[in-house]
Amino acid sequence: MIFEIIARDPGCEARCGRLETAHGTVDTPVFMPVGTQGSVKGISPDELEALGAHMILGNTYHLHMRPGAERVARLGGLHTFMHWPRSLLTDSGGFQVFSLAKINKIEEEGVAFQSHIDGSRHLLSPETAVKIQMRLGSDIAMVFDECNSYPVSYQYASESMQRTVRWARRSKAAHDQAKQALFGIIQGSVFLDLRKSCLEQLEAIGFDGYALGSLSVGESKEEMLEVLETITPMMPGQNPRYLMGVGTPEDLVEGVRLGVDMFDCVMPTRNARNGMLFTSQGSIQIKNSTYADDGGPIEEGCPCYTCRRFSRAYLRHLFMARELLAYRLNTLHNLHYYLKLMADMRQAIAEGRFEAWRQVFYAARGKE
Amino acid sequence: MIFEIIARDPGCEARCGRLETAHGTVDTPVFMPVGTQGSVKGISPDELEALGAHMILGNTYHLHMRPGAERVARLGGLHTFMHWPRSLLTDSGGFQVFSLAKINKIEEEGVAFQSHIDGSRHLLSPETAVKIQMRLGSDIAMVFDECNSYPVSYQYASESMQRTVRWARRSKAAHDQAKQALFGIIQGSVFLDLRKSCLEQLEAIGFDGYALGSLSVGESKEEMLEVLETITPMMPGQNPRYLMGVGTPEDLVEGVRLGVDMFDCVMPTRNARNGMLFTSQGSIQIKNSTYADDGGPIEEGCPCYTCRRFSRAYLRHLFMARELLAYRLNTLHNLHYYLKLMADMRQAIAEGRFEAWRQVFYAARGKE
């Protein structure tokens, strides 16, 4: 993997880069749609390509539970299995083990848990998490980490962070695939000294990129911003910086301003399936009865597949009638919105006018 | 509407035709995918066009209940509303009123019923059913009829058929849209003399096409075939003949052999959503564990979107994981199968070798 910075905004930390993986070039800052179980919910790989997605995320926990990494490997790896020719990042399974599975024990060795699907017993450790990701054949793998919920005591966050560092070291030792990059994950909850210490220790081990984990897990926007403002500038500038599981359009704009290069979040896809659609003026609920006779598109002038063809009235009808097409058309619009937002930010950075662009972005939403 | 016979098979009643509607040319025999609520479940209008669908069906009952025909009319009609540029046929609502709604009373005036969605009270009559279809703006409308379940007494079938004829006369009187064709519906359950009498009376009224209703509603294959074999040749040859709500691939082949020009059925789309996929050798259940490691397509050599890209193993995974993409990919394959079957039959008829083609069709399924 090669990462190159190609532009920096003069007014803030924002930067544009180019990430070369075994499956092509990814322009950064990048938003990665989430393909939890080997499919970005509601749309096809062709549609993802047409939307301009350069990299998507696959969930190691889900794919390990079903259909299994061995099976995916036998079928040619995750790219082939799901027919996705571009770049893929896999998480380590840490987040899902801590949020979905029934945890039996967290030990130095790893986490013993029961599958949320069938209750079967498994152990996920740094070694197994890395092995699974190598089998899946993603372009970027993540170290196995412990995700903290919010709030968590300083004491627990500190012990957990130290374990995450030890697990990161073991993850790197277990990793043996030249074509696959490996990123470290900075933990430490909202405690800045723990985050700093974690980052320093991870840098000493040395990774291809660095990620911030356990943010947007219940803490206030102020707390999240404080971590971002303090830690992001300390993250090595020559490596990609990845803010995991974040977030709203505003979160992306603030992350980019502070120098983040990569994001992933289920928000555009999940909200689409719940009928919440993004526009430059904010979001709308398509089920609202005001749209029942509205012949206009979700957003006037939006060039997405959905807006070029279908009215709000039709989309509302599909959603009320629970038609499958509703979820797809809503998802296409929301992902277009997110990916266009990233493209707009990249262009603004390249032209050295990110701060001015950011003011227009907030003004359209009625915010300063 | 213009209907022209362009080829006849020398060995049977099968025929090829060309149906010109206000929205284009439909090659017959034609299979119409069902777009119940203004969407063929799981796929987009673009995909329908790419599949080669020339005409689809919309359900008057469903669209009347939600979003309402007045609303669809205000939004430009059903073609515009659902972004479908080709031909559209609407049923009269009869079948759904008798199968879905809570019937309060069947009277000479019409049927009083309660909506299956919200329990609201409605009356569907020949006049309202025709008026709704004129508002929807379909290319072909159907008269309002009483659908018989199976079995039904001769006495009831006879009275019901006579009422259907009176309703057909009123439907025609209420119909006043030159661009929209109106078809009569032959009832009479499995009683051949009732079916004949119904057909004669409908012909005396005069319609643009004639349909067979209340078949494939529980009677045996033999009983259905007997009605088809007896009645189809009596239906006026210069008008399209439409077998409503039928059927399996075998049913389509037998219908075409007997001179039917038009079919509709939820089978390819509904079965797709239940994981049942059609192949030339018969159908398969994709959830079967034998497909878990199967890297081949649903059917070797199938040129459909799904088979060109995805393995049975991936489709099984998507189906087991209840991913939305499963329903779409399965639907694309099954509709391709149905539409290709019709195209193959048209070609065999045009080349005068329908009977030979039919033998190959059955031989592939291990049948004589």
Neighbours of B23 (CB within 10 A): 18
**What letter does residue B141 receive in the DSSP assignment?**
E
Nearest residue on chain B to A47, alpha-carbon basis:
B325
Query: Contact at 8 Å (CB) between B90 and B138?
Result: yes
Residue A102 — pLDDT band, cuts 50, 70, 90?
A: confident
Distance from C-alpha of A51 to C-alpha of A256, rounded to nearest angstrom: 21
- Minimal Cα–Cα distance from B239 to chain A, Å? 34
Q: What is the pLDDT of residue A100?
A: 86
For A283-310, what is each residue's pLDDT tens digit?
Answer: 999 999 999 999 999 999 999 999 999 9
Nearest residue on chain A to B84, alpha-carbon basis:
A309
Pairing state between β A111-114 and A102-106: antiparallel
Interchain contact, A75 vs B293, CB within 8 Å: yes
Q: Return the ∠ at Cα A162 (arms to A157 and A163), rounded to 5°.
A: 95
SS (H, E, C) B327-361: HHHHHHHHHHHHHHHHHHHHHHHHCCCHHHHHHHH
- Is position B139 annotated as part of the catalytic site? no
Pairing state between β B209-212 and B181-186: parallel
Q: What is the pLDDT of residue A107?
A: 94
Interchain contact, B314 vs A81, CB within 8 Å: yes
**What letter does residue A103 receive in the DSSP assignment?**
E
What is the residue-averaged pLDDT of chain A? 97
Question: Which chain B residues have a beta carbon less than 8 Å from that of A67?
Answer: 292, 313, 316-317, 320
Which structure tokens are listed for B115? 């909506």
Catalytic residue among B9, B91, B251, B261: B91
Q: Which of B37, B75, B324 faces A42 most closely, judged by CB atoms?
A: B324
Neighbours of B290 (CB within 10 A): 10
Report how far apart, in Å, the C-alpha atoms of B106 and of each of B116, B266, B347 are: 17, 27, 45
Q: What is the pLDDT of residue A17?
A: 98
Q: Which of A39, A66, A309 faces B83 most closely, judged by CB atoms?
A: A309
For A233-251, what is each residue's pLDDT tens digit?
Answer: 999 999 999 999 999 999 9
Q: What is the pLDDT of residue A103?
A: 84
3-state secondary structure of A270: helix
Long-range pairs for B217-223 at CB < 8 Å and ≥24 separation?
Answer: B217/B147, B217/B148, B217/B149, B217/B150, B217/B245, B218/B149, B218/B150, B218/B151, B219/B150, B219/B151, B219/B189, B219/B190, B223/B190
pLDDT at residue A368 tops 80: no
Residue type at A288 in one-letter notation: N
Alpha helix (H) ranges present in chain B? 45-51, 60-65, 69-74, 78-82, 94-99, 126-136, 154-174, 192-205, 221-231, 249-257, 267-273, 305-309, 312-320, 324-350, 354-364
Q: What is the pLDDT of residue B104?
A: 84
Interchain contact, A66 vs B321, CB within 8 Å: yes
Q: What is the pLDDT of residue A98?
A: 86
- Each residue's pLDDT expressed in tens, for chain B with a length of 368 residues: 999 999 999 999 999 999 999 999 999 999 999 999 999 999 999 999 999 999 999 999 999 999 999 999 999 999 999 999 999 999 999 889 888 888 888 999 999 999 999 999 999 999 999 999 999 999 999 999 999 999 999 999 999 999 999 999 999 999 999 999 999 999 999 999 999 999 999 999 999 999 999 999 999 999 999 999 999 999 999 999 999 999 999 999 999 999 999 999 999 999 999 999 999 999 999 999 999 999 999 999 999 999 999 999 999 999 999 999 999 999 999 999 999 999 999 999 999 999 999 999 999 999 86
Neighbours of B20 (CB within 10 A): 14
Q: Which of A67, A310, A323 faces B317 most closely, judged by CB atoms?
A: A67
Question: Which chain B residues have a beta carbon less than 8 Å from that of A323?
Answer: 37-39, 41
For A176-208, what is each residue's pLDDT tens digit?
Answer: 999 999 999 999 999 999 999 999 999 999 999
In residues, how long is chain B? 368
Distance from C-alpha of B66 to C-alpha of A107, rounded to nearest angstrom: 56
3-state secondary structure of B182: strand
Location of structure tokens 């699907």: A117
Q: What is the pLDDT of residue B100?
A: 86
Catalytic residues of A: 91, 264
For A141-177, what is each residue's pLDDT tens digit?
Answer: 999 999 999 999 999 999 999 999 999 999 999 999 9
Distance from C-alpha of B256 to C-alpha of B355, rounded to nearest angstrom: 11
3-state secondary structure of A298: coil
Q: What is the pLDDT of residue B367?
A: 86
Distance from C-alpha of B68 to C-alpha of B49, rounded to nearest angstrom: 26
Q: What is the pLDDT of residue B132?
A: 98
Question: Which chain B residues have a beta carbon less than 8 Å from that of A292?
Answer: 67, 71
Distance from C-alpha of B58 to C-alpha of B90, rounded to nearest angstrom: 5
Nearest residue on chain B to A316, alpha-carbon basis:
B67
Interchain contact, B325 vs A44, CB within 8 Å: yes
